[in-house]
Structure 1
């Protein structure tokens, strides 16, 4: 009796089955990739979404920074309040400087606040208080008050603070200068130059006390301020 031995199908067909399987799978394998047109469409969509989101991201970033500035000014205002309590109601003198390396640091935060441990201490001239304007890196927040002024660290009379005559309504640009604390309705003012420090509002001669120079909304220019009345009550810009 003879046994019939069948050849394996793959061998009998000379590998046709394997080739057929590969041919069937090929469309699926290559369909996983992107054509050039599809890739360009995806890139275009991503670019469009990024363009739409960028203004939103900038809006949120600016608003967050403004909130942080108000928090900084609150801390400085508290330090000035405690300093005044410790010094018979007096606040530190205002400083201006004519030296080339320091003249841009006019109305810097008073070194007395660092020396008395009311605020963090810095190590550079013009930055003895390590509390820097978030919109003006390398410079402290600004400080002004009617009363004693130092020019190049030497007494030179009183600093004159411009205040609208309509105070406490600060919307006017009509005002006058006050040199003595007893006459001024404002005890002190501290401010940030704002997100656009070189803008006409931030550099106005009516800044920081006229509200026409204040930053009021995202995208705006102007200063961000906090001030205390003669009675020590504190107010801030929007």
Structure 2
């Protein structure tokens, strides 16, 4: 997959956008959370309504991705409680229900948009961007550079440098490095990397990840203090050298 670089959304204070993801399916919540972190956003997740309300009070998100069906109380009640404290908070509903009545109920309750399951993660990202632009979150347009330690990656020019030395990467190596740099210090599993960098089922051939990690190491870490680390049994993490 050759991902298309888009301008970063930023809060008015220049900090990354904060998004709260609420869904009682852990795998789905993790998938959406990971995709939004790939956008460079600060993301928290919750698996039930009570945790969602508590997390929102502490985290103060700029937007919420909210499942309608939750194990304690439903998403519409979560929305009511959130809006009592932040009446302009953008909310994107997720639901397995697709009837007109359910759509109307969610939007009438104050939801800003509505996506039915199954959905593409890309659709969720695009709709969230649209919602947040309407509420004043700005695009950082000209700043498309990722920096981790002495490693820099320009998403517009697709140039990579370490300690000022230019490094030439293939398209896939670039996407893999970008994913690692958008999640510094975070341990990323082979499955997560396959999903975001290749974007399709590789039939369990996670060794393709090992292969490309080895390619990156030869270019990024060769003759230098290593930045790409293997977490045995867990995955890989990119950390500043030193």
TM-score (normalizing by structure 1): 0.23
Structure index of larger Rg:
1
TM-score (normalizing by structure 2): 0.23
